[in-house]
Amino acid sequence: MGARIGIGTVLVDDLVLRFSSDLERDKARAEDMLREALEREMNDSVADLAMGMLRRIQNRLNDSQIELKTAIALDRNNARAFQQLGVTLMCLGEPEDAIPQIERAIRLNPHDPNIASYYWALGSAELVSSRMDDALSLLSKARAANPRLYFIHLWLAGSLALKGDPGAARSAVAASLELRPEVSSLARWRAENPFYTNPRFTALADKTVYAGLRQAGFPDQ
């Protein structure tokens, strides 16, 4: 079962970071691998973590929350499970609940090789909570830690525009487009990330990150 969990986790990571070359194929493969593993081994925090991430990708946010809470219950030191729970809570429109989860993840593993994702998650939750200074600081840290992730540039662009730096915001949008040119509008971003369409999240994003991106010249359609 360890091999299936490992393969499923790698597939989910590629989906989350948009390194997958065939999203639908890899979603189906990850589903098969992880479901079989969990059916045979009910107490594996890593498997529940990966399934929780997959459920969010599938826009099954409540199921994602359940899986991630299970992963944490099985291993209270699973930093990434706390971080991913925070992301799911943000997508549910609950950034205030997300923030302490992500902060705990950083405390548990401040030197994680994927620390950029932790800073991005925390900065994004701060941004949709309208704490612009904290958001800008954290998203800048995320970009410095890993400038190869297109979505970090988009979130950073939103925060820069809202802080009154349209030139830097436009540069961040350009960096995102260079990395992933097909995500060229808010509509295409949401189509690729359907978990951003939850109404409670959208209500917050329209006043923050989406508003900033519009100011930076990132179109709706």
pLDDT in tens, 52-83: 999 999 999 999 999 999 999 999 999 999 99
CATH topology of domain 1-76: 1.25.40
195 is written with which tokens? 């978990």
CATH of 82-221, one of 1.25.40.10, 3.90.230.10, 1.20.1540.10, 3.40.50.2300: 1.25.40.10
pTM (2 decimals)?
0.91
Asked whether this chain's domains 1-76 and 82-221 adopt the same fold, the reply is: yes
36 is written with which tokens? 């079989």
Query: What crossing angle do the helices spanning 79-91 and 95-108 adopt, rounded to 10°?
Result: 160
| Mean pLDDT over each residue of the chain, to the nearest integer | 92
Identify the band that residue 31 occupies on the pLDDT scale cut at 50, 70 and 90: confident
pLDDT digits (tens, 9 = 90+) for 175-190: 999 999 999 999 999 9
What are the sequence ranges of the domains in the chain?
A: 1-76, 82-221
Q: How confident is the model at residue 27, as a pLDDT?
A: 79
Q: Report which of residues 35 and 105 the model is more confident about.
A: 105
CA 209 and chain centroid, separation: 14
Distance CA 151, CA 30 (A): 22
